[in-house]
Structure 1
Amino acid sequence: MSKVFTLAEVSQHNTNKDCWLIIGGKVYDVTKFLDDHPGGDEVLVTATGKDATDDFEDVGHSATARAMLEEYYVGDINSSSTPAKTASAPPKQTQKNEDAGPGFIIKLLQFLVPLIILGVAVGVRFYTKSAA
């Protein structure tokens, strides 16, 4: 039977001399692996004190890395001691009505004013040529 740890117990192991991680509901003592971790030891140490499953999965570890975890397994996490995960939803964005308001008028003027200037310049040049 494996040992069951609370988040508080696992959180005490949060240095590069004593580093435990929670991944997939299991607790791993990765202290001996810190020097060999391709991403450096700091990445692992900063993942302590919380459920690091998402961090581990987001990196896209290989099957070899996943198999290596078993070497560092020390027990399971008491799931009632960890905060429940909440689904994150993207913030609601308000729809902007681009056809109204001062922003639209400014964009319209930025388009029309150069055209008017160009038209006046061509007209003046044409008028001065035909008057001569």
Structure 2
Amino acid sequence: MTLTQFTRDQVATHNRLEDAMIIIDNLVYNVTTFLEDHPGGPEVLLNNAGKDASQCFSDVGHSDDAKAWRQEFLVGEVVAAERREVKTPAPSWVGAEDTVTLASVVHVWGPPIVMAIASTLLYFYLFS
């Protein structure tokens, strides 16, 4: 299936309530009929209408269902000369290092230990 080619300037003209298109990862979506059904409200889509909403879409962290659902509104793609690199965000746990330091142990376990000691001392003071 060959998709209709759009320049970014062409998409920019579709920025109204009656005619709203957005770009996500170099693909063009006509979201006019979805405005009222959008869970975040129509304002979110209208604020991005006529623009590249790739960063906004990925920042929100849409579900896999939402990503599949958007295919229903796919109308084309950005012309090859104007495409931008699609950045796939790595999950937050990738590359994370679990380093245990004395400061992190004190920060996590310090307050409960201090409270336990204080409670024990108060108990023996009051009931001994």
- TM > 0.5 between the two? yes
Identical residues among aligned pairs (%)? 44
C-alpha distance 71-35 of structure 1, shift in aligned 2 (>3 A): same
Report the secondary structure of 1:38's partner residue: coil
In the aligned structure 1, how far is the partner of 2:53 from the partner of 2:59? 10
Letter in 2 for 1:34: L
In the aligned structure 1, how far is the partner of 2:4 from the partner of 2:64? 25
Number of aligned pairs?
A: 85
C-alpha distance 67-24 of structure 1, shift in aligned 2 (>3 A): same
Matches within 5 A, 1:80-119: 80-81=81-82
C-alpha distance 56-65 of structure 1, shift in aligned 2 (>3 A): same
Structure 1 segments unaligned to the other structure (5+ residues): 86-132
In the aligned structure 2, how far is the partner of 1:25 from the partner of 1:83? 7
Quote how far apart the aligned CAs of 1:82 are: 6.1
Q: Deviation per CA, 1:94-131, whole angstroms, max 9, x where unpaired?
A: xxxxxxxxxxxxxxxxxxxxxxxxxxxxxxxxxxxxxx
C-alpha distance 6-74 of structure 1, shift in aligned 2 (>3 A): same
Q: Which of these two proteins has the greater Rg computed from alpha carbons?
A: 1
**Does the CA-based 8 Å contact 2:3-2:77 persist in structure 1?**
yes
Q: Deviation per CA, 1:31-55, whole angstroms, max 9, x where unpaired?
A: 1100010111111111123211000
Matches within 5 A, 1:1-132: 1-81=2-82
2:89 alignment partner in structure 1? none
In the aligned structure 1, how far is the partner of 2:59 from the partner of 2:21? 19
TM-score of the superposed pair, with normalisation by structure 2: 0.61
Letter in 2 for 1:72: F
C-alpha distance 24-36 of structure 1, shift in aligned 2 (>3 A): same
User: Which segments of structure 1 move beyond 2 Å, counting only runs of 4 or more?
Assistant: 79-85
